[in-house]
Amino acid sequence: MKTKENSVEKLARIIEEKDRRIAELEKQVKWFLSQLSLSKHKQYGASSEQTDSNQISMFNEVESTADMSQPEPELTEVKTHYRRRTRLTTDKLPEDLPVEVIEHELPEDGRNCSACGSGLHTMGKEIREEIKIIPAKAVVVKHIRHVYGCRNCEAASEHVPIVKADMPEPVIKGGFASPEAVAHIAVQKFMMGSPLYRQEQEWKQNGILLSRQTMANWLLKASNDWLEPLYEKMRLKLLKHSVLHVDETTVQVLKEPGRAAQSKSYMWLYRTSGEAKSQIILYDYQPDRRYIRPREFLRGFSGFIHTDGYEAYHKLPDNIIVVGCLAHLRRKFFDGLKILPKDKRKDSDLLKGVYYCDRLFRYEREFASLTPEERLDNRQRISKALFDEFYNWMEGLGALPSSMLGKAVSYARSQKKYIERYLTDGRLEISNNRAERSIKPFVIGRKNWLFANTPAGARASAVYYSLVVTAIENGFNPFEYLMWVLTQMPNLGKPGYAASAEDLLPDSTVLPERVFIPRSKKEPELYAWEEEE
């Protein structure tokens, strides 16, 4: 009898263990399916994280459609039978483009009236405009320096003074590169994402045999000789600001000493915030992602840095205060929403979490035109209450830790003390999106050139990206700015040239007019990489 009872108990324990194991495996399968669904969405689905603004009425608030920054509308009289046809377009040509006029006239023997035979006269003109694209062309610039001597001294003196005419120093000594050539190659690679092998083919089609090796040498030499010093001055100026944004992304370097070609290296980004009058964006290549990299780069800096939730930033010195990113928290909820069936999204807590974040972001858009002091006051009066409500709501959810909702809530709890810091200073921002937008040109370029060959090449890429993206952010034409810098740096201090490298920085008051891009205040900023999603 006892043996039979022991057998039953043993069988019950086996069944209980198997049930536990089955439940555990079901959880794992569910988790793997959710990750597979999320992976498929990231690979094939839309990358936009926008939500349907109509569904925001689930909160049933007037504020869902209010905008405190807009003035009260004026009453206008509507005229009947008035129709205006408009065409919405972002295409616009500069007003100072050269105009080539082609007249189309009847031949002399065709200018008689077909009815009576009398001569015809011009009674009007029909005009059609076209834009004519002329491909870039190359020319050889031959510098001829005149050397002067004295005929009288040649005949009567043992010493003959020789005077040479001034001639600008070349961007690369002993080479045939011009500032225009180096600037063009750099902009094509680091702004337009065209690798050197593609540029080599383009030159070849125009009958110019310019190897990628030569172009690479030009970029490296110009960076080492002229752009590195300017980069360092920009870094020192960046560290004088009190609010910065930081981010990082991977880059592959094939020939890095002591490391396999498949190893991950990193491109770090440091930039000024929206409160800065002129913007500075710097890239910094490093072989790894350790916290010592931002610590070294930011040596001498004291203030706030906007970051994501990466733990390395929390190991920085106490004089550097980390401000978290609400956009990353929102993404945790949004990623969970992606894998939910559409019929279950409307009433899900994941969607509610997204909308809480959306409301906080909407307040920031309304506060955008305010001074830092006014913005801080509005955040304390309006945003803080909603922020606290958001976190109180999450505390009552009781979500499973392994679920997407549970992971979003766990991330929110761990990042709360960093994210809520934006409420304490009007200069701070609600997210680190500013840094993510600035690192995007590098990410888009990486899709084209894939990797760097050497650490020196990766470092040079960081320098060029810094100047190109900084130029765009400040409303400069990247080609004109780079060409001007590469013309000025070899000739600093000479008559007619910049007195020092400080005159070449983005906030310089002596930048030539041609460097700036003519732009109406109503026109949006448009980067070449913004079309790449």
Confidence at 3, pLDDT banded by 50, 70, 90: low
Q: What is the pLDDT of residue 111?
A: 86
Helices 404-419 and 349-366, axial angle in degrees (round to 10): 30
- pLDDT greater than 50 at residue 9: yes
The SS3 assignment for 339 reads coil
Q: What separation in angstroms does the CA of 309 have from each of 38, 172, 181, 448?
A: 20, 44, 42, 29
State how far the Cα of 394 lies from the Cα of 359, in Å rounded to an integer: 16
For the chain, domain boundaries: 143-324+432-533, 328-429
How many Å separate Cα 335 from the centre of its chain?
A: 23
Q: What is the pLDDT of residue 529?
A: 38
State how far the Cα of 316 lies from the Cα of 294, in Å rounded to an integer: 8
Backbone angles phi, psi at 443, to 5 degrees: -65, -40
How many Å separate Cα 453 from the centre of its chain?
A: 23
Helices 433-449 and 179-190, axial angle in degrees (round to 10): 100
Give buried/exposed letters for 330-357 (b at 16+ CB in 10 A, else e).
bbbbbbbbbbbeeeebeebbbbbbbbbb
Confidence at 77, pLDDT banded by 50, 70, 90: very low
State how far the Cα of 86 lies from the Cα of 193, in Å rounded to an integer: 36
Locate 175 and state its tokens: 């080479």
- pLDDT greater than 70 at residue 89: no
Over residues 484-517, the pLDDT tens digits come to 999 999 999 999 899 999 999 988 988 999 999 8
- pLDDT greater than 70 at residue 84: no
How many Å separate Cα 470 from the centre of its chain?
A: 10
Q: What is the pLDDT of residue 523?
A: 44
Give the CA dihedral 260, 264, 266, 267, nearest 10 degrees.
Answer: 90
State how far the Cα of 491 lies from the Cα of 226, in Å rounded to an integer: 10
- pLDDT greater than 60 at residue 87: no
Locate 298 and state its tokens: 């930011």
